[in-house]
Amino acid sequence: MKILFLTQYFPPEIGAPQARLFELARGLKNKGHEITILTAFPNYPGGKILAGYKLRAVQEEEMEGMRVIRTWIYPSHSRSFVKRLFNYFSFVFSSMFFGAFKLGRQDVLVCETPPLFLGISARFLSLLKGAGLYLYVSDLWPDSAVELGMLKNKLLIKLSKSLELGLYRRSLKVIVVTDGIKKIIETHTFTKDKVFTVTNGVDLKVFNPSDKTAARKTLGLPPDKFIIMYSGNHGLAQNLTTVLKCAKKTIKNPALLYVFAGDGVEKPLLQELKEKEGLTNVVFLKSFPKKEMPLVLSAADAALIPLKDLKLFEKALPSKMFEMMSMTVPLLMGVKGEAAEVVKAAGCGINITPEDENSMEKAILDLYNSKELREEMGRKGREYAKTHFSREAIINLFERLL
C-alpha cells in the first residue's frame, strides 16, 4: 500500500507522538509498504526550529527509506492559546497547499490528532489523492483543551466539537491509543464498529537496562544517590510543581535526588521555582534524542509519571510508562484510571494520588527503603511489557486495520 502519515509532530522532535509514529511508519515500511510523511518543520517543544533545519516553505528529505515532506509552520509553544492557534493553522494550510502538489495518489491517509484542526487538511488531501482516511487519536480534542483551561471561547469550542464529530463520521476507521478514549468516542452511534484501540508500545530490544553507574557517569549524575526521574514534556498537563513540593518536603534526606530530563513550556518556571526554594536536591537535564533515552532511563531508581487530577486523564496511558517498564524501573504513577489499572495488574510500581506531594513522598520512601521491592517491580514491569506492549505486535495489528 501507499500510506501517507499526516502529523504536525515528527522526529527529530522528541515526544510520545513523534516516537510512536516514527516506529509505526518504519515498521510498516519494513513490511513492504511505501511510506510518506507529511509533517512540519521541527520546533516542538521549545517553539524554535531545531538545529540542522532552516524554516522555509517546503523541504524534502529521506529518513530510513521513508519520504518526509516538511512544510512551513509558525513556530511556537507559547502558553498563549492565540499563538498556538497560529501554530496549528499555519501547518494546516501549508500541508494542504504543498500536499496537493507534492503528493501522488495514495491508498491510505493516517492523520494523527491532536491538533484536531489538522483534520481539515486530512479531509481535503484524502479526497484529492483518493486515499481512505484513518483518524489516529492520541488525545480527545477539544475536551482536553477545555479541561486544561486552554480553550474557553464558547463559539470556538462549538466549532471544534463539530469538526471532531465530522472527522469521526468521515473516517473509515478511528484508531485510538486507550480503551478509555474508545469508550467515549463509541457513545456516538455513527462510530459503532469503526473505533479500534492500538496502544502505545515499546521496542524491548532498544529499551533494555544497562549499567546504572556508567549511565550516571555519562550524564554527570552522582553514583550514590537514589534518583527519582521525570522524563518527557515539561507542560501544563504534567503539573510538575507537585514534584518540586515533594522535593522540598524530602530535602533533609541527602540520599534522594530528583532529576528532570526534557523540555517544555513550563521548564523555565520550574527552574525559577527551584532556585527560589533552594532545592539543591533537584537537577534539570537537557532534552535528549530518542536514541539516547535508554541510557538516560538507566540512571533512574524510580520513575515519576504525574498528570493533573482531571477526569480526562483517567483514560490516558502515558507512553513513557512502557519504556520505563521495559527498563525494569519501578513506576510512581500519579494518574488515575487506565494507567493505574495497568500498574496494578502488572505489579510494576506504586499508584499515587495525582497532585498530592504527601502521597508521592510516601511512595518514594517505600521504594527507597526496599531494594527487594524495587527489583521485584522492575522485573514484573518488563515481563508485562513484553506480553502486552511489544512494538512488533502493535505494528502487525495496525497493518491489519489498514
* DSSP sequence for 117-171: THHHHHHHHHHHTTPEEEEEESS-TTHHHHHTTS---HHHHHHHHHHHHHHHHH-
Could you tell me the end-to-end alpha-carbon distance of the chain, in angstroms, rounded to an integer? 9
Same domain, 121 and 18: yes
Across the chain, what does the average pLDDT equal?
92
Same domain, 151 and 261: no
Residue 395 falls inside a structural domain: no
pLDDT of 21 above 80: yes
Hey, is 385 helix, strand or coil?
helix
pLDDT in tens, 27-53: 999 999 999 999 999 998 778 899 899
pLDDT of 264 above 80: yes
Same domain, 307 and 370: yes
Residue 101 falls inside a structural domain: yes
**Mean pLDDT across 3-27:** 91
C-alpha cell at 197: 484501540
- Cα separation, 258 vs 226, in Å, equals 8
pLDDT in tens, 283-307: 999 988 888 999 999 999 999 999 9
Half-sphere exposure of 53 (CA within 13 A, CB side): 24
Same domain, 248 and 340: yes
Same domain, 74 and 116: yes
Q: Which has the higher per-residue pLDDT, 117 or 236? A: 117
Where is the domain boundary, 198, 221, 237?
Answer: 198
5 and 33 in contact (C-beta within 8 Å)? no
pLDDT of 80 above 80: no
How much is the pLDDT for 259?
97
- pLDDT category at 141 given cuts 50, 70, 90 is confident
10 and 21 in contact (C-beta within 8 Å)? yes
Same domain, 174 and 230: no
- pLDDT category at 255 given cuts 50, 70, 90 is very high
pLDDT over 90 percentage in the chain: 69
Q: Considering its fold, how many domains does the chain have in total?
A: 2
How much is the pLDDT for 172?
95
Half-sphere exposure of 196 (CA within 13 A, CB side): 16
**Crossing angle for the helix pair 371-388 and 357-368, to the nearest 10 degrees:** 100
pLDDT of 233 above 80: yes
Same domain, 279 and 244: yes
Q: How many residues does the chain have?
A: 402
231 and 296 in contact (C-beta within 8 Å)? yes
Same domain, 327 and 265: yes
- Cα separation, 318 vs 349, in Å, equals 14
- Cα separation, 40 vs 90, in Å, equals 9
Residue 157 falls inside a structural domain: yes
Residue 84 falls inside a structural domain: yes
Residue 373 structural domain: 212-388
Same domain, 194 and 216: no
Same domain, 271 and 140: no
**Mean pLDDT across 329-338:** 95
- pLDDT category at 133 given cuts 50, 70, 90 is very high
Residue 397 falls inside a structural domain: no
Residue 203 falls inside a structural domain: no
Q: Is 286 exposed, middle or buried (0-12, 13-18, 19+ CB in 10 A)?
A: exposed
Q: For 72-86, 108-122, 265-279, 340-354, which range has the lowest pLDDT when averaged over its residues?
A: 72-86
Same domain, 191 and 268: no
Buried b (16+ CB within 10 A) or exposed e, 302-315: bbbbbbbbbebbbb
399 and 108 in contact (C-beta within 8 Å)? no
Q: Is 86 exposed, middle or buried (0-12, 13-18, 19+ CB in 10 A)?
A: middle
- pLDDT category at 79 given cuts 50, 70, 90 is low
| Strands, E assignment, 184-225 | 195-197
Where is the domain boundary, 198, 232, 263?
Answer: 198
Hey, is 332 helix, strand or coil?
strand
Same domain, 372 and 229: yes
pLDDT of 162 above 90: no
Tell me the DSSP string of 146-161: HHTTS---HHHHHHHH
Tell me the DSSP string of 81-108: HHHHHHHHHHHHHHHHHHHHHH----SE
Residue 87 falls inside a structural domain: yes
346: domain CATH number is 3.40.50.2000
Residue 176: in which H helix or E strand, if any?
Answer: strand 173-176
Where is the domain boundary, 198, 220, 240?
Answer: 198
Q: Cα-flanking dihedrals φ and ψ of residue 12, to 5°?
A: -80, 5
Measured torsion, CA atoms of residues 117, 120, 121, 126, in degrees rounded to the nearest 10: 140
How much is the pLDDT for 359?
96
Residue 402 falls inside a structural domain: no
